[in-house]
Each structure stands twice: as structure tokens, then as C-alpha cells.
Homo-oligomer: A and B are copies of this chain.
């Protein structure tokens, strides 16, 4: 079976870094370059840019000549406005035949010059934070194919990174696997997907069902999770995503040592056993066999020996593999999948 989502962003990409103040401002582009190096033919940096992805610096003209199909805006804009100098770059890219894909909050389609020029030239604008289509409500009906969902104790604990590491490892082993993106950086990396937190509330599970359609019985969708059932701001998104993904297995992503839930001072992280239990209990609504099979830790802030001790402790305590995708890879998780 071959059912790609109907719209996908064409590569090769030229990554636009603008006048990024530092590497962090370009972290979306950084993610794209890390996970899709073959798709990225160069970077475009303007005066004052302090970020560098290690890709060849190119002008728009050079990139067009080299075959770039899409200009990817993978950088945070300062102050919430898209500078005129950026818009000039965008218009020129359209003139040269490129589409534009943007992870900005501001929509490209709200920029009159860019929008009208794209229409005139028949080019596509992808505002990946903003769903561009309507979805049906979820049905909860079981679909063929296997699904792994990364869930979390909190936001920003490595769900996208873990999903992508799993995809890479599984493909390297010759398994059928596709990363399914639910957030803006993931969508630029996958070339398609849906920002689940930006759909209308009634359609959270339906959008996720659309994202991960019926597939071959031995095919794995690796669905990027969002938020946490224990995050007071975003748990509704996590819940609908869990039901729509109807995972066979889940990987619990966690960053040890956080003082509180992201953005919510004073609200402690959930107990890991409780987090596993609640995710399994809620997942059973659409897949009674759903099970958390591993823990993926982000131990970037720990010394190597501390990280190792922490992971060994978690593995023993919860009776499942515990990895750090960055330090150890995710082979121990893929060993459990068939």
C-alpha cells in the first residue's frame, strides 16, 4: 500500500537562516539539516547572521541553478514581524521557481507581495504551523499497519528526536517505517504532516488519523507526539493525538531533573509509573493492546557516568529498555519491534 499525504513539500531545500542572532534562533533549520542532510543543498545567510549549519553558503541564484525546489524558512523572526528584507528574498525565490515552506508563526499567505506573487507564478506556500486543510472527526476505527507513538512526561523532552532516530535505525535495518510529523519542525523534516496543536479542537484525533492512514501490516508509522497528558496547558492535544494515533506501542520520553513542567513553575513532573499507566489506560480506547515498551531519556545535561546510572536505574525500575537516542542510539527499542 502506498498512501502518501496529498501534499508534500518538494526538495532539495535551500535553508534560509536570515539574520539569526544565534544557532538557537535557527534550530528549526538545524533540525532539518541534521535529519535530512540529503535534501539540503545549501544555506542562505544574510548580513548579521550568527548561525551556521555547516552547509555550503549559496545565493538564491546559485541554489536555483543547483536544483533547489523549496526555500525553507527555518529561523525565528525577531519581534514577530517579517522584515522587508526577508520578503524580498522570498519574492526573488518565487521568481526563480522555488516554493516556500515556513515554520514562522506569521503566515506567508498574509504577506501581500509574497502571496500575490506566488499565485501569479503558480508556486506553493507552506505555512507548516497552520493546517491548510479540513479534517474529518476521528472514528477510532482500527487501521492496518503498526504504529509507535512517542509520549512524554512533559513538552520538549525529545519526542521528535526519538521518533526520527527510530525511523533512521529501522530504515537502516531494512524495515518499512515512516516518521509522521505533528509539529512544525517535524513537518519540514518529513516534507508533510500536520501541526496537531493548531487544528480546531474537535478534529485533533481526526487529523491524527489522517496523518497515519491504513498501511501494510508490516509497516511502522513513527508518530511524533506533542505535550503530555500531565501538562495543564496542552493535555487535550496529547489525548486526541493518542486516540488518533492508536499506537501499538509507545515510547515514554523524559528529561530527568526538570524542576517543573515546561512553562508552568510550581507544577512538578509526573511520576513515571503514573505517566506510563495513564497513557496506556487512555490509549486502550482505540487500541486495547497499546503498551509502553521503552523509555527515551534526554540526558544532555548529565555527565556520562551520571547518565548511565540514571538510565540503568530507570530500566531496572520499570522493566523496560531505557536509552538516550543521542548517547546510546535507539537500537534497544528497535530490537523489540517486528
B-binding residues in A (CB < 8 A)? 137-140, 196-202, 204-206, 229-230, 232-241, 243, 263-264, 267, 278, 281-282, 285-286
A205 adjacent to B236 (CB under 8 Å): yes
Whether A205 and B235, one on each chain, are in contact in the complex, defined by CB atoms closer than 8 angstroms, is yes
- Neighbour of A240 across the interface among B137, B196, B201, CB < 8 A: B201
Q: How many identical subunits does the complex contain?
A: 2
Are B232 and A285 in contact, CB atoms less than 8 angstroms apart?
yes
Instruction: Considering the complex, give the chain B residue whose CB is closest to the CB of A264.
Output: B140
The interface residues of chain B lying within 8 Å CB-to-CB of A197 are 200-202
Q: Closest chain B residue to A286 by CB distance?
A: B232
Given contacts A140-B233, A205-B236, 20 further A-B contacts (CB under 8 A): A137-B263, A138-B232, A140-B267, A197-B200, A197-B201, A199-B200, A200-B200, A201-B240, A204-B236, A205-B234, A206-B233, A229-B239, A230-B285, A232-B285, A232-B286, A235-B243, A236-B240, A237-B240, A239-B240, A278-B282
Which DSSP category, helix, strand, loop or mixed, fits chain A's interface?
helix
- B205 adjacent to A196 (CB under 8 Å): no
Name the B residues within 8 Å of A138 (CB-CB): 232-233
**A196 to B202 alpha-carbon distance, docked (Å):** 9
- Is B205's CB under 8 angstroms from A204's CB? no
What residues of B have a CB within 8 angstroms of the CB of A235 in the complex?
A: 205, 239-240, 243, 282, 285
Complex CA–CA separation, A196 to B233 (angstroms): 14
Cα distance, A282 to B230, chains bound together (Å): 8
> Chain B contacts of A282 at CB under 8 A?
229, 235, 278
Measured in the bound complex, the distance between the Cα atoms of B200 and A199 in whole Å is 6
Chain B residues lying within 8 Å of A281, measured Cβ to Cβ, are: 278
A20 to B252, CA, bound (A): 52
Among A140, A199, A235, A263, residue most surrounded by chain B Cβ atoms (within 10 Å)? A235
CA A327 to CA B235, docked complex, whole Å: 36
Cα A263 to Cα B140 with chains together (Å): 11
Q: Which residue of chain B has its CB nearest to the CB of A237?
A: B201
Interface pairs A-B: 9 shortest CB-CB: A236-B240, A140-B232, A239-B239, A204-B236, A137-B233, A197-B202, A236-B236, A236-B239, A138-B233
Contacts A/B (CB < 8 Å), 23 sampled? A138-B232, A139-B233, A139-B264, A140-B233, A196-B201, A197-B200, A197-B201, A197-B202, A200-B200, A201-B236, A201-B240, A202-B234, A202-B237, A205-B236, A206-B233, A232-B243, A232-B286, A235-B239, A235-B243, A235-B285, A236-B236, A236-B238, A236-B240
CA distance A267 to B137 in the complex (A): 15
